[in-house]
């Protein structure tokens, strides 16, 4: 993960069988359970909704993934209907309701049992759960091809059923003017919904490379026309797991001369000092700390912004220095270099008080100054120097006011206290939902 938090250290040291079980459960929630989104049964909808919320909540608990998980949760709320938010909803006990609940439990049970079968869930005599992948890559690709095709067909069928039910309800309206208004609304919403549905098929079909070509040309044209508006997108951060064998980190250093002494630049959030407690900053996204994680996975030539960062550090740009721990900034640096380290969590038996131990892996960027040919060539290539740039927009009173407020507040060092307060307020509201009404 880009910016770990303290819980990540403890999660890393959980027993191996729990890691295997959590990975298998994550795959079930993200691959199998989304198929339940299309089932028009209330219990199935609620089960799939809370399953996704559970997964996203655990991700939030163990890492600083900014607002990504909150956006995913917001999308999941589209699974709910108005009556699902009614805490005083009457429980129906008719035959149809009982059959619906029974069918829902059967569907949920079948999906969970099938998921357990795919991942070979077994309970050992020591009350641990073993799990392993029970299928080959070819079998998974075959399943993915069929699942994408059937899911698209199911989505179209359910959308058509929903439009038909809406039309029937509109036609049952008594007054003519209201009937016309209802029909016009159904048609307008139906056209917009159909366009969004067709547009979403293209990024969805990208899960399987072959399915995109099978889509009708008209569907792909709709996606191309709506793509500039970003109405539908492929949500796929961290599609490949990294960090095997340690966590790579780029460590920047500054010095008054090429001989030294070299002093590290410590960022506010990313791992640097091995004894610093990992922060809790969700939903804040520190962009530089975040991007340095991706920079450590490749070479600096793949990240032109990295040379701009080094350039601004050599210029001692105040706005850039504010992104760092200002108490440890090198004094009057004339040279900046970068090393690539591999970070590992310390063991629970380690009594040093450190969270990490690190090993220097290689040089990431040789020492450069403002006049270094390497740095100047990269800056000219990106257009930062040697090329006429457009005149910056004059600041407005609003932008000046926001800049002043930001200078007073600064960047959040840790949001643990704020998040705990919000959590306690949420728990109190859930535990005493009718406290205000009883008092009145």
- pLDDT on residue 308: 93
- pLDDT on residue 434: 65
- pLDDT on residue 87: 64
Structure tokens at 216: 């009708």
- pLDDT on residue 233: 80
- pLDDT on residue 255: 94
For the chain, residues with pLDDT lower than 50 are 440
- pLDDT on residue 236: 64
- pLDDT on residue 388: 63
Asked whether the whole model's pTM tops 0.85, one would answer: no
Residues 70-129 pLDDT 10s:
988 998 998 888 888 776 665 666 788 889 899 999 999 999 999 999 999 999 999 999
- pLDDT on residue 93: 65
Return the exposure string of 310-349: e unless at least 16 CB atoms fall within 10 Å of the residue's CB, then b: bbbbbeeeeeeeebbbeeebbeebebbbbbbbbbebbeee
DSSP state of 154: H
Does residue 261 have a cis peptide bond before it, meaning omega lies within 30 degrees of 0? yes
- pLDDT on residue 237: 63
Q: How many Cβ atoms from other residues are within 10 Å of residue 101's Cβ?
A: 14
Question: Residue by residue, what is the 3-state secondary structure of 78-109?
Answer: HHCCHHHHCCCCCCCCCHHHHHHHHHHHHHHH
Q: Kindly report the length of the chain.
A: 440
The Cα 432–Cα 427 span in angstroms is 8
- pLDDT on residue 390: 66
- pLDDT on residue 370: 93
Residues 262-282 pLDDT 10s:
999 999 999 999 999 999 988
DSSP state of 249: E
CB 107 within 8 A of CB 94: no
Q: Where are the domains of the chain?
A: 6-85+93-134, 247-394
């Amino acid at each position: 993960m880009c910016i770990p938090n303290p819980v990540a250290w403890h999660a890393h040291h959980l027993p191996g069988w729990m890691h295997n079980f959590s990975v298998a459960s994550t795959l079930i929630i993200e691959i199998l359970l989304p198929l339940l989104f299309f089932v028009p049964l209330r219990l199935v909808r609620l089960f799939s909704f809370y399953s996704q919320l559970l997964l996203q909540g655990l991700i939030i608990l163990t890492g600083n993934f900014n607002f990504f998980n909150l956006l995913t949760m917001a999308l999941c709320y589209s699974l709910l209907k108005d009556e699902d938010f009614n805490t005083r909803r009457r429980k129906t006990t008719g035959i149809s309701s009982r059959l619906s609940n029974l069918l829902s439990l059967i569907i949920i049970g079948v999906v969970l049992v099938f998921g357990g079968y795919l991942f070979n869930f077994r309970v050992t005599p020591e009350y641990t759960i073993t799990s392993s992948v029970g299928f080959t890559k070819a079998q998974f690709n075959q399943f993915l091809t069929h699942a994408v095709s059937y899911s698209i067909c199911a989505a179209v069928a359910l959308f058509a059923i929903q439009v038909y039910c809406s039309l029937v309800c509109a036609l049952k309206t008594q007054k003519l003017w209201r009937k016309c208004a209802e029909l016009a609304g159904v048609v307008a919403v139906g056209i917009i919904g159909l366009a969004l549905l067709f547009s979403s098929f293209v990024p969805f079909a990208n899960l399987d490379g072959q399915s995109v070509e099978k889509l009708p040309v008209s569907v792909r044209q709709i996606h191309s026309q709506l793509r500039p508006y970003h109405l539908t997108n492929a949500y796929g951060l961290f599609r490949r797991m990294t960090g095997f064998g340690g966590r790579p980190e780029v460590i920047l250093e500054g010095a008054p001369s090429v001989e030294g002494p070299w002093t590290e630049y410590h960022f506010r959030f990313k791992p640097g000092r091995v004894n610093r407690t990992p922060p809790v900053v969700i939903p804040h996204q520190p962009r530089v700390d975040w991007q340095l994680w991706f920079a450590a996975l490749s070479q600096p030539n793949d990240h032109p912004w990295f040379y701009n960062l080094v350039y601004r550090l050599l210029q001692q740009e105040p706005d850039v220095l504010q992104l760092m721990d200002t108490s440890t900034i090198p004094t009057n640096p004339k040279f900046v270099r970068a090393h690539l380290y591999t970070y590992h969590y310390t063991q629970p038996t380690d009594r040093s008080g450190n969270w990490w131990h690190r090993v220097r892996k290689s040089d990431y960027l040789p020492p450069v100054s403002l006049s270094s040919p390497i740095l100047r060539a990269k800056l000219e290539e990106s257009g930062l120097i040697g090329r006429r740039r457009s005149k910056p927009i004059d600041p407005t009173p609003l932008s000046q006011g926001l800049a002043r407020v930001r200078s007073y507040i600064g960047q959040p060092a840790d949001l643990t206290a704020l998040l705990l307060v919000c959590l306690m307020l949420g728990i109190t509201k859930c535990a005493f939902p009718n406290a205000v009404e009883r008092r009145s």
